[in-house]
Chain A
């Protein structure tokens, strides 16, 4: 049998008694919609992407969403099972701790000045912003506001840029810090 060795770039010839052709694999139909729903990245073929193959395996760009099996790349059953165990362990890690540890750079919303237009809610790639109500201790309705779920926020700052009153701000990249930077640079 003759073929090409893609690593060395040369032709190869193998003498064999039996040749088994592996059928090509492609992702399931509708995987794009699924990935968009969960905010998980995918490659040009439609296979889902891990955050980092070495440093953060089975994790995705969305916190709390893990992937395993042939949705990530063509693989066989033992590999899928191994990856599934890895994903299950990651989930267990989340549940075993009493508190969730997250990156400190997350958005916060100044609820005093929030006009409750919820543009940020539509723009947030992680659905980390929710509608909330401010009430007095006696339960009297004061106003509505947007509120960040710190467990879901990944700190991209899209909400800050779309917020018309700049009630949203991003810890670590606050307006104050960036404006100071701009002013001192020029």
Chain B
């Protein structure tokens, strides 16, 4: 490549920084636009490396991360103008993913000045020239990209106070303080005796219990320690083998059922849902919870105190993070992710992570770095968070399960916030709503696309 300085020049002065820019372009518009720039003899910097893909719809966020991981200084993603897609809607799908992906990068403190999105048609050779020139110049000024694998600057992570002072308002443990425990046991006994279900997935004193005999229903409890989202057990093969289940859910857990049903993972008719009216468990998620009452359960037990949260309160935990400048935010996450040992507990407890083979285990090609290094950890957490875009129901199980105490819910929350602000979408609230990823709207905002 011509961007490497000659040996003679290198001897005289320190080698000038030549940015490396990776461009992912679609075959039908931007690639032809770049081709036109060439055939009309337009000059543009040779710093851009073009990767041709059939359509912007094919461009996966993993590719962008990969490009940075292996040393790109900027990434350009470009395709057909809206309405011009050769495949009619690939660019609309891409646009929606980019909106969410940019929000995630923003929450991580990633320098958004290094990721460019453009629409360049086959006739816009000049635009291609301008865009490449501009990106090269800007990147040259910004210098080489190092943030994804820089060592965290000490101290910044510790200054971020996310939990409210004095901790969350918890209640003293007192078994049976909430009504409904006796009714729950009675309902389960009835279901098991009548043979309507083969197993009840519920809360026990020390964790989840799987009750298969009517005489064991005394193991079930219902109190303010019933925090876990039990829907995660529905995907387990050994639980499925037990037969038709009844599952105990709170209003918030029920949202997971809605998403799972939408994604064809469960058949609602093949289970009995015991909805428990909840009074809040004193967790961070409970402070802004507005689904105390299960809405789609087969039967609802107990009585909830009604205090729907204000919408603004939902993003309260994000305020401290979003108030940080970009560089400090990146530093915060670098400090946090440094502790990550890649145990994948966050994945195992997530009701939404049900793939038989997780992408991180795919090795031909290795999509994300599997080692617990700075690069690998960033890639993993970006992957995990983005796969939950428009799907995370905010049960915060990942955060509770993390042995390193990484506040993973902040990433999930930022995407949930983006989904609500950009698309008016909340995962698991409306069984009839289209999925967020996999659908698109002509009205999706594109003010960031040139």
Chain A residues whose C-beta falls within 8 Å of the C-beta of B53 in the assembled complex: 157, 173, 178
B388: nearest chain-A partner, CB-CB = A164
A61/B87 contact (C-beta < 8 A), A119-B437, A179-B66, A182-B67 known:
yes
Cα A118 to Cα B87 with chains together (Å): 20
The stretch from B291-299, B322-330, B352-360, B405-413 touching chain A is B352-360
B63 on the A face (CB < 8 A): yes
Give the 6 A-B residue pairs with the shortest CB-CB distance, closest first. Answer: A157-B58, A156-B87, A158-B57, A179-B365, A165-B355, A122-B438
Cα A136 to Cα B435 with chains together (Å): 32
Candidates A41, A162, A173, A178; contact of B437 at CB < 8 Å: A162
Interface of A is mostly: loop
- Is B20 a contact of A186 with CB atoms below 8 Å? yes
The stretch from B5-13, B88-96, B190-198, B242-250 touching chain A is B88-96
- Is A182 a contact of B70 with CB atoms below 8 Å? yes
A161 on the B face (CB < 8 A): yes
Candidates B356, B359, B365, B439; contact of A176 at CB < 8 Å: B365
| Shortest beta-carbon distance from A13 to chain B in Å | 36
Interface members, chain A 157-186 (any B CB < 8 Å): 157-158, 160-162, 164-167, 170, 173, 175-176, 178-183, 185-186
A125/B87 contact (C-beta < 8 A), A165-B355, A185-B22 known:
yes
Cβ contacts B340-362/A at 8 Å (1 or 0 each): 00000000000000111111001
Interface members, chain B 428-445 (any A CB < 8 Å): 434-435, 437-439
A125/B89 contact (C-beta < 8 A), A161-B59, A182-B66, A182-B67 known:
yes
The stretch from A16-24, A76-84, A93-101, A109-117 touching chain B is A109-117
Interface members, chain B 356-397 (any A CB < 8 Å): 356-359, 362, 364-367, 387
Candidates A61, A113, A160; contact of B355 at CB < 8 Å: A113
A186/B54 contact (C-beta < 8 A), A125-B89, A180-B365 known:
no
Interface members, chain B 62-110 (any A CB < 8 Å): 63, 66-67, 70-72, 86-90, 93-94, 97
A173/B263 contact (C-beta < 8 A), A113-B355, A165-B358, A182-B66 known:
no
- Is A166 a contact of B359 with CB atoms below 8 Å? yes
Cα A40 to Cα B87 with chains together (Å): 9
- Is A105 a contact of B54 with CB atoms below 8 Å? yes
- Is B88 a contact of A115 with CB atoms below 8 Å? no
Candidates B22, B60, B364, B435; contact of A122 at CB < 8 Å: B435
B265 on the A face (CB < 8 A): yes
Chain B residues whose C-beta falls within 8 Å of the C-beta of A160 in the assembled complex: 58, 60
- Is A117 a contact of B263 with CB atoms below 8 Å? yes
Candidates B22, B93, B263, B356; contact of A161 at CB < 8 Å: B93
- Is A123 a contact of B354 with CB atoms below 8 Å? no
Interface size on A, residues (CB 8 A): 44
- Which residues of chain A have a CB within 8 Å of any CB of chain B? 39-41, 61, 105, 112-120, 122-123, 125-126, 131, 144, 154-158, 160-162, 164-167, 170, 173, 175-176, 178-183, 185-186
- Is A173 a contact of B438 with CB atoms below 8 Å? no
B49 on the A face (CB < 8 A): yes
Cα A122 to Cα B262 with chains together (Å): 11
Chain B residues whose C-beta falls within 8 Å of the C-beta of A105 in the assembled complex: 54
A117/B87 contact (C-beta < 8 A), A164-B387, A170-B58 known:
no
B159 on the A face (CB < 8 A): no
- Is A118 a contact of B22 with CB atoms below 8 Å? no
Can you identify 15 A-B contacts, CB atoms within 8 angstroms?
A61-B88, A105-B54, A112-B356, A113-B356, A115-B355, A119-B263, A156-B58, A161-B60, A162-B93, A166-B362, A166-B367, A170-B54, A186-B20, A186-B22, A186-B70
A161/B264 contact (C-beta < 8 A), A156-B58, A170-B54 known:
no
- Is A165 a contact of B58 with CB atoms below 8 Å? no
Cα A160 to Cα B62 with chains together (Å): 11
Cα A5 to Cα B200 with chains together (Å): 81
User: Most B CB atoms within 10 A — which of A131, A180, A183?
Assistant: A183
A118/B264 contact (C-beta < 8 A), A161-B97, A165-B357 known:
yes
| Shortest beta-carbon distance from B18 to chain A in Å | 12
